[in-house]
Amino acid sequence: MDSLDGNRLPGSEDLDKPIPLDDDLDKPISFDDDDTGQTNVSHSPLNLGGRGTAEIPKTAAAKPTAARPATAQPAEKAVSSDRITGVRTFFTKLHPGAMEFLDGQISNWLKANPGVVIKRTNTATGEVQAKKTEPNIIITVWY
């Protein structure tokens, strides 16, 4: 880290003294470094290849042709046994009797749907709003 040397700072003689401004406060601020009024910005119109007043060289007159996209062959639909086809969400209050009832609900649903193969599950706790807002356990089953 550079050490700050107060002797190299402008106006370091008296730090409470304001920095002097130019004499003419009504003079507009120049955006260029030099005061000659000449800028390095070109004000000539841009030639974007369209018709206009600018002269187009003969070599640039030919417009490039856009390549047409190749017609894609329809891909075969891949059938995967790992694909998730449905979701079922179960939730109940956080007390032992309600959680036992939830276990029974999930078991009965699986028995009633023997073709269901569970791919993923998620368990979360959060508040479910009903007559009262109470904490619940939420079990999401993707199959």
pLDDT digits (tens, 9 = 90+) for 7-22: 555 545 667 777 666 5
Q: Indicate if the pLDDT at residue 23 is higher than 70.
A: no
- Domain boundaries, given as residue ranges, for the chain: 87-142
pLDDT tens for 52-82 read 555 555 555 555 566 666 665 665 655 556 7
* 63 secondary structure, DSSP code: P
Among candidate residues 88, 89, 142, the one with its CA nearest the CA of residue 117: 142
Which pTM does this prediction carry? Answer: 0.43
Q: How far apart are CA 72 and CA 67, in angstroms?
A: 15
Q: Which amino acid is at 131?
A: K
Query: β-strand 133-142 against 120-129: which pairing, if any?
Result: antiparallel
